[in-house]
Amino acid sequence: MSIYLQLIFLLLLSSCGAPAVVSLPSLSASLPAVMSVAPENSSEVESAAEINVCFSKAIDETTVNKFTFLVVEDFNSSSLKSLQKEVDNGKILGLDGSYSISEDALCAMFVPDAELSSGKRYGIILTKDVQSADGFSLSKMYVSSFDLLKSEDGGEAVINSSIESAGTASVEQNNVINQQDVAEQSSITLAGLVLNEIYYDAQDSDTNGELFVELKGAPGATISGYKIIFVNGDDGKITDSITLPSGASVQGDGFYVIADAASQNANQTNVAEADFITNFDPQNGPDAVQLLDSKGGLVDAVCYGEVKVKIAENGLAMCENSPALDAPAGKSISRLENTDDTDDNSADFIINSEPSPKSAEVKIEEPI
């Protein structure tokens, strides 16, 4: 159990008297995260002589090895929990090769001992045993994959690959080591994009610029064309959708807020510091929200309330394990601040007593 869940449990046990507000501390500056990987997801490279992974913080070189940074041949993607178990049990082994760290310790490189084979799918796995120089582990396992195939003339080509992780997006980066090896790439993968807070039931009107959906991810992550899908919890029918505009990217504070437009002005909202304003009115629950990438791949999903189905009409999951609580009017559902994404909505989300767009702060009312 995380320290945050323990704190909440103790507060619930010891609560008495009038409601109080609890603010949870932030660990965002401490936890390292995978910022980029090359070859990227859906890349179009002709070779992969070197695998590069860059992080948000300097990494402890002693924690980077064949057990924590795996490049896997004939890779078959599955859930992160299943992969973690297979790695822990030694059922998934990485290729032999050499590892090195950049001078600033922000990037790790793997060079396989043997040339990668065309016609194979390769997975890139970073386990939570990779640690920053100051002793903090990755917040969650990172997984990516790419395919290397022969072209008709006997050369090599790469086709699109699949990826299953906390979510990805593409941005241009300047800190990839050995630019010659990635000259064919125009962007690299960013991990960690999630639905962070959803305010779907305002105290008064749900159609006058009060509602919002907040994304959280690596600053600078390009999310143009990404979609927010609202799903009915009774039958999985899609009730509404939002497509993010050209040029959309996660802001420097790590957030991107999609806000509902005011009823009398499509260009205004009551949501502070909104990054994108559009008209939408999600159902109050039990329902679900999906985050899809620009190619229609599922990045994240949150369901809340006692939903009757867990697969939407688009064939994609609308829940991660058990549903989150259904927030009453005037309150939002929000991730516990800077805790691991456990892929369980009921564990990852709480009812935020004061909806807080553009802020990691979460406030929980202590019960009487």
DSSP-based three-state secondary structure for 348? helix
The highest-level CATH class for domain 34-191 is mainly beta
pLDDT for position 47: 75
Instruction: Name the residue with tokens 């086709």.
Output: 159
The first and second tokens of residue 101, run together, are 């760290």
**Which among 29, 53, 39, 224 is positioned nearest to 142, based on CA atoms?**
53
pLDDT for position 302: 95
C-alpha angle 40/33/166, rounded to 5°?
Answer: 65
Query: Residue 362's pLDDT band (boundaries 50, 70, 90)?
Result: confident
Compute the average pLDDT of residues 139-143.
Answer: 83
> What is the identity of the amino acid at 224?
S
H helices, E strands: number in the chain:
3, 22
The first and second tokens of residue 42, run together, are 């859906």
Q: Is the dihedral of CA 223, 229, 230, 231 positive or negative?
A: negative
Instruction: Name the residue with tokens 């619930």.
Output: 12
Query: Residue 15's pLDDT band (boundaries 50, 70, 90)?
Result: low
HSE value, Cβ hemisphere, 13 Å, CA-based, for 145 = 19
What is the chain's Cα-based Rg? 21
Enumerate the domain spans of the chain.
3-28+193-365, 34-191
Report which DSSP code applies to 68.
Answer: T
